[in-house]
Amino acid sequence: MPYQQVKTVRIDSDGHWHDLPPGEPGILAISGPTVFPGYVVGHDDTGPRMEALGSVRDGWLNTGDLARVDPDGFIHLLGRAKDLIICGGHNIDPAVIEDVLLAHPAVTGASAAGGPDPHSGEVPVAYVILQARRDRHRT
């Protein structure tokens, strides 16, 4: 996409991000006009208070995807950096949610991930791709 930048990073246990060289597998990070600074979590005298929940650093978004970016800038997805949604202390496997969604005949693609939640830490959020209306069969 125009004006987007991509890179892979290694994130230490203390939260520090380290850029990796092209071709080196790591966590995919993106930057550009489509990356927002975070969620509005309140207001104070200066305006809205934003919280990125640790996923945005210096304008770079941690996508949670494992990838490598080749020297030409092409992204090769390798998997997820974290394959669990932790909701209120419960570990939820996103694949279980995706499998149920993919079992529906109108769904051609599905992805589940953890969305931020101030009470539970994360809540499951699912995205689906539906067949074109003309291709759907009545069930």
Give 17-45 as a DSSP string. Answer: EEE--TT--EEEEEESTT----EEEEEET
pLDDT (tens digit, 9 = 90+) per residue, 20-38? Answer: 999 999 999 999 998 877 7
Domain layout of the chain by residue ranges: 1-81, 83-139
**CATH of span 1-81:** 2.30.38.10
Integer Cα distance of 18 and 12 in angstroms: 8
DSSP annotation string for 46-112: TEEEEE-TTSEETTEEEEEEEEEE-TTS-EEEEEES---EEETTEEE-HHHHHHHHHTSTTEEEEEE
- Least Cα distance to 4 among 27, 30, 26, 23 occurs for 30
Strands 39-44 and 26-31: unpaired
Range 83-139 classified under CATH 3.30.70.1350: no
Q: Is the dihedral of CA 30, 33, 39, 42 positive or negative?
A: positive
pLDDT (tens digit, 9 = 90+) per residue, 78-108? Answer: 887 777 788 887 878 888 999 999 999 999 9
- pLDDT over 60 (residue 139): no
Identical topology for domains 1-81 and 83-139: no
pLDDT (tens digit, 9 = 90+) per residue, 103-113? Answer: 999 999 999 98
